[in-house]
Structure 1
Amino acid sequence: MALQMDKAALETFVAQEFAQVADVLSVHEVREDRLTLKLMPTQAHLRPGGTVSGPSMFMLADVALYLAILSRIGPVALAVTTNAHIDFMRKPAAGQALYGEATVLKLGKSLAVGQVAIKNAGSDDVLAQASLTYAIPPKR
């Protein structure tokens, strides 16, 4: 399926519709088979012990798959998460960017299913793995 939104279009969409994450997340790469989103953690994303918090990693996974879906269907602001599961497997390295590599596994008319692998910059080790389902509203 051809891309409906490229990197610039997705970043513009996020800035307009989800300004609350636009300053901490950036689209790193958009391809037909995958979208990679970057989180550069700040002090606000850390938990005691100096590691990135679970909610921050979940935000990265959730938004990464959302944008991967939008890259294929276009700007549908009301596509929403209906199910999510995340496994935290390794502690993120301190002071490094995290990347969420999102893959859409199934894209239907009303539901999309995908997965996101979260990694530190320059590492192939998966820190967290998320599986998510999104509801896509009917076209009007």
Structure 2
Amino acid sequence: MRVSFEELNAFLVDHFPQGAAYGALVDLGDGWAEMVLNVDEVHLRPGGTVSGPAMMALADVAMYAALLGKIGLVPLAVTTNLNINFLRKPVADVPIRARASLLKVGRTMAVGDVFIYSEGMKEPVAHSTLTYSIPPNKSEN
């Protein structure tokens, strides 16, 4: 792990403050990150369920955190693909938690997956796979 939990949290506050709307980092390890989103009215859609865009944003930021924890604070690492499967209805009045895990990290691309859970549910409510582009290291050019 190249970045500590504290370093990554400080980086996110300074360089990606809008990310707080999509969840808070709660744990970080070598190639993985965990985030939680406290669901409120802005995250709900008609019918009383957590919206797809809220879950997609949580998955994306969780993967960003896992990647930066592994490769270092590289602000221009960006999502190139995000696929999500909504598996079951999340509970509307409890937080949702995302666990992102890196599957492969190369020089220019990284692939990982994210499972999203409603607090208190054993089965995931969504599963996402993501690909990130990693900008070239200028010292390698």
Pick which of 95-104 and 5-14 moved more. 5-14
The reply to whether residue 65 of structure 1 matches residue 102 of structure 2 is: no
Q: 1:42-100, CA deviations, whole angstroms, 9 ceiling, x for partnerless residues?
A: 21111111211000000000110111000011111100111111000111112111111
**1 CA distance for matches of 2:31 and 2:73?**
18
Paired with 1:83 and 1:4, the residues of 2 have a C-alpha distance of 24
Query: Does 2:131 correspond to 1:125?
Result: no
Structure 1 SS opposite 2:125: strand
Offset, 1:23? 4.9
Cα distance between partner residues in 2 of 1:23 and 1:83: 21
Other structure's SS at 1:12 match = helix
Q: Which moved more, 1:88-97 or 1:106-115?
A: 88-97
TM-score w.r.t. the length of structure 1 is 0.93
Q: Could you tell me how far apart the structure 2 residues matched to 1:30 and 1:16 are?
A: 18
The total of aligned residue pairs comes to 138
Report the equivalent of 2:6.
8
Say if 2:32 and 2:67, in contact at 8 Å, map to a contact too: no
Deviation string, structure 1 residues 115-140 (Cα, Å, up to 9, x no partner):
00000123321100000000000112
Distance 2:80 2:22 in 1: 24
Identity of aligned residues (%): 42
Corresponding residue number in structure 2 for 1:98: 96
Alignment correspondent of 1:43 = 41
Q: State the match for 1:18 in structure 2.
A: 16
Task: Give the alignment's TM-score, normalised by structure 2.
Answer: 0.93
- C-alpha separation between the residues in 1 aligned to 2:133 and 2:22? 25
Taking the aligned partners of 1:5 and 1:43, their CA distance within structure 2 comes to 33
For structure 1, the 5+ residue unaligned runs are none
Superposed CA RMSD in Å reads 1.2
4+ residue segments displaced more than 6 Å: none
Kept in 1, the 8 Å contact 2:22–2:57? The answer is no
The farther-off stretch of 17-26 and 107-116 is 17-26
Residue 53 of structure 1 aligns with which residue?
Answer: 51
